[in-house]
Amino acid sequence: MNISIASYSFHGLLAEGRIDVFGYLESCRFRYGLRAADLWNGLVGTTDTTFLKKVRQAVEERDMVVVNYHVDGVHLWEDDPDARQHNYTRALEHLRAAEILGARTIRFDTGGRLEPVSDEQFDYLVARYREYANIAAGFGARIGPENHWGLSLIADNMERIARAVDHPAYGVLLHLGHWEDGDELGGDRRLAPWAMHTHIDARTTRTRLVEHLQILIDAGYTGYWGVEHHSAQNEYAEVACQLAEVQRVLARRQWEAHRAELQAPDLSQAGNPLLTAEQEGRA
């Protein structure tokens, strides 16, 4: 199964000084049995070339791939032009970092506030994302926003931007169900065609996981399912719980598909062949 764990899931351990990027890689590979790294720049901690090459080496030593590099602090829109320029400069640094890490997808937030995108914002976002997509395409990656905060939480904004950028290296990190416009499933359905990666939080895992996953499956999504935890508490166990539920749902879907293909009999009423129905309490 294509499953990853967003390294932001361990931000509580990071704050306590109990994990670093190498411990995260070790945990993904040997605690959770995964071969994908889903790196948050807050855990990586630097854009220093020498350090990033060490991380890349650690990824390869564990026979892993970096399926996503999600970057905070380089969001595209700020009302202040100087702040926009500062974030642009930082974004170029992180694009170089993504290339060194071998990231397959990259997330830079839109920025802005929770409101309809203005014409000025729209023109700027489309131009910048297209520029970033051209750079990412040069090393075989895709880049785009996440429905994370600000104007990106409105599906109208995100769909309008995606249609305008219209670049093969542009995509959306779809945070399942994370919309502020009243239609969680509808927002996922609208942006599913551009999904390049996913993040699945605990609320979605516990409430409507099957429905959200099915939307992407129906849209032909073939990327990674990224588990993300937010509580900063009991993180190793909480992540394991979320991971197991995502694995269970995906495995159940595969099991059902195989049974349908084989035309296997319905075993829902099958009992213990060594006991009678009366002994089992089924009579």
- Give the chain's domains with CATH numbers: 3-280 (3.20.20.150)
Residue 129, both tokens: 């994302």
* Mean pLDDT value of segment 18-39: 98
Predicted local confidence at residue 13, as pLDDT = 98
Cβ neighbors of 131 (< 8 A, separation 6 or more) are none
**Sole residue written with tokens 């516990």:** 206
Residue 95 has pLDDT above 70, yes or no: yes
Residue 172, both tokens: 């959306």
The pTM is what? 0.93
Q: 69 - beta bridge partners?
A: 39, 106
Predicted local confidence at residue 255, as pLDDT = 81
Predicted local confidence at residue 283, as pLDDT = 63
Residue 29 has pLDDT above 90, yes or no: yes
User: Percentage of the chain surpassing pLDDT 70?
Assistant: 98
Predicted local confidence at residue 268, as pLDDT = 67
In degrees, rounded to 5, the angle at the alpha carbon of residue 167 between the alpha carbons of residues 103 and 201 is 50
